[in-house]
Amino acid sequence: MLTLPEAEIAKLLTWDALVAAMEQALVAFSAGHVIQPVRNMLTIEDGKRYLGIMPAVCGSGMGAKLVSFYPGNAASGEPTHFATILLFETEHGRPLAVLDGRLITERRTAAVSAAVTLRLARPESRVLALLGSGVQAGAHLEALRTLFSFDEVRVWSRTAEHAKAFAQAHGARAMELEEAVRGADVVVTATHATEPFLKGSWLKEGAHVNAVGAPRPTWRELDDDCMRNIVVVDSREAALVESGDVILSRASIFAEAGEVLARTKVVDPSATTIFKSVGLAVEDIAAAMLVYEKALSRRKDTACA
């Protein structure tokens, strides 16, 4: 059984392969080819400390992720998420690997958004607005830059100094919230907000929003006007239990991401679209299997040499 630390995972988890793997996983999920319950989230201290349990079985493998979510860590510089993923093979149930799940969680979230953005955003999209300046903002910028040629990247954060530091590090422009959103082709919300801060009236017609923050049923990033647009989710079942943006706005869900990616549901290219992502265990298992297979191949090549 392999043990794969984050440093090794970082060398193996490339964006092109990961985006393709996430598309396949989402299509399989929406087609009913994945066994996966809604995440069991244990509240240790409301608003501060949570532990998530996320098992899944799919064609490529099976396993589970244990993930700690400590939003208060953002103030101390510690990651808000830590995770461990355990993989099994499906024929005999034999354990395959234990993987550090922090980076996998970070990158698979951005890769899912990238796959959906490629299908829903206009191909000529040139302006990206990142609302939030943490780990997910950075990961989304990396993933989306592999698919789009942005002329301008804007960033906003509730802490202005964080936005300025992010902008300097990534060649972006730190801006005020409304200014960052208006005219943007693609918007990413990646915060721990509990109240909506993105107003639908600011969105450019035909803009696409990836909403990956506010991962609790009473937390929100997007106002009701945002949620009146075409709403796509990774999982209907999970969104209706976990997403405050969906639950509290009583939004109508048009499709799951897997349905859009498989083209069984088609979105008007001129529509303003919202992708609300809560994160699925199948994404973690598919990403972990991708890493495992690459690690195994590298070890075989080294042994042969």
Q: What is the rounded average pLDDT of the residues 183-196?
A: 96
The band of 1, judged by pLDDT with boundaries at 50, 70 and 90, is: confident
Cβ-based burial of 161 (10 A; exposed 0-12, middle 13-18, buried ≥19) = exposed
Cα→Cα distances 69→22, 48, 172, Å = 22, 8, 28
| Backbone φ, ψ for residue 152 (5° rounding) | -145, 135
Helix (H, G, I), strand (E, B) or coil at 69: strand
CB-count exposure of residue 149 (10 Å: 0-12, 13-18, 19+): exposed
| Tens of pLDDT, residues 67-102 | 999 988 877 888 888 999 999 999 999 999 999 999
For residue 34 the two structure tokens come to: 């994945």
Q: Give the residue with greater pLDDT, 7 vs 301.
A: 7
Per-residue pLDDT reduced to its tens digit, 23-73: 999 999 999 999 999 999 999 999 889 999 999 999 878 999 999 999 888
**Is residue 193 predicted with pLDDT exceeding 70?**
yes
**Non-local CB neighbours of 247 within 8 Å, separated by 6+ positions:** 217, 240
Sequence-ordered list of residues with C-beta below 8 angstroms from that of 288, at least 6 positions apart, any chain: 61, 63, 85, 87, 97, 99, 101, 104
Q: How far is it, in rounded angstroms, from Cα 110 to Cα 305?
A: 35
Distance CA 229, CA 169 (A): 33
Q: Give the pLDDT confidence of 233-278 residue by residue, as tens digits.
A: 999 999 999 999 999 999 999 999 999 999 999 999 999 999 999 9
d(CA 78, CA 67): 15
128-150 pLDDT, tens per residue? 999 999 999 999 999 999 999 99
pTM: 0.94
Q: Which residues contact 135 (CB under 8 A, 6 or more apart)?
A: 79, 80, 106
What pLDDT was estimated at residue 299? 79
Sorted by where each starts, the structural domains of the chain and their CATH numbers stand as: 2-104+282-304 (3.30.1780.10), 122-279 (3.40.50.720)
pLDDT of residue 169: 97
* Cβ atoms of 272 and 229 closer than 8 Å: yes
Q: What is the residue whose two structure tokens read 């973690």?
A: 284
* H/E stretch holding 163: helix 160-170
Q: How confident is the model at residue 190 (pLDDT cuts 50, 70, 90)?
A: very high
Predicted confidence (pLDDT) at residue 305 exceeds the cutoff of 70: no
